[in-house]
A and B are shown apart, each in its own frame.
Chain A
Amino acid sequence: EVQLVESGGGLVKPGGSLRLSCAASGFTFSSYSMNWVRQAPGKGLEWVSSISSSSSYIYYADSVKGRFTISRDNAKNSLYLQMNSLRAEDTAVYYCARDSYTAMVGGLFDYWGQGTLVTVSS
């Protein structure tokens, strides 16, 4: 069974940093591209970042480019999101999502974690 478990969320002040983690199990993690998608309270879904299976290809939403860094450790079956210079508008539940494609970053999200809440407030 595919499982994705996010952690690392919490309350942080504007301008602060936070690192999210996603522990994957139940599939060959090193074969799949992975993604972060967020959802502000009461709002819709927003794609944040994607990383290919070997980390060769990385993409970011314009809203986070230059502030967030996605990475992965295939030996640890883990995905990460380093978030710097956080703003109030980054407040959201952050979901880790598996990409349906193995050979590329396809942008189709077939499995999702339960999410971790990040609150940016003074």
Chain B
Amino acid sequence: DIQMTQSPSTLSASVGDRVTITCRASQSISSWLAWYQQKPGKAPKLLIYKASSLESGVPSRFSGSGSGTEFTLTISSLQPDDFATYYCQQYNSYQWTFGQGTKVEIK
């Protein structure tokens, strides 16, 4: 199975900050990577697919980059609504796997 490792596990930031989360795959997944946002008690929401494509309706302050084994999710200017947990997920080959999550907290 492909292992996905996110860093950091927790991130403290302020409104307006630029935030970057890293996701590494244990083997190449080309660009078959998605990012999800999850708020407490809610279902995950798809933000980014194919490493860098923005899902419809997602604010443009979210962006994704990378290919192969290293990927990043960037929030250009953190907004109050963005405090949540973020997960990366590979869909290059089943068994589809998620990273362990990165919690973005208020500093």
Contacts and interface: CB of A to CB of B under 8 A. Distances in A.
B95 interface: yes
Contact of B94 (A44, A45, A59, A100): A59
B97 A47 contact: yes
The B contact surface, by secondary structure, is: loop
Interface stretch (B10-18, B44-52, B68-76): B44-52
A1 interface: no
B34 interface: yes
Interface in A33-89: 37, 44-47, 50, 59, 61-62
B46 A114 contact: no
A47 B89 CA distance: 10
Given A45-B89, A45-B98, A112 B44 contact: yes
B96 A95 contact: no
A8 B32 CA distance: 33
A3 to B, nearest CB: 12
Given A44-B100, A45-B89, A108-B34, A113 B95 contact: no
Contact of B46 (A46, A106, A109): A109
Number of chain A interface residues as a range = 20 to 34
A62 to B, nearest CB: 7
A5 to B, nearest CB: 11
A46 B98 contact: yes
A108 B94 CA distance: 11
A62 B95 contact: yes
Given A44-B99, A45-B98, A47-B97, A112 B45 contact: yes
Interface string B25-57: 000000010101010001111100100000100
B43 A113 contact: yes
Given A44-B101, A50-B96, A112-B44, 9 more contacts: A44-B98, A47-B95, A47-B97, A59-B94, A62-B95, A107-B91, A107-B94, A110-B46, A110-B55
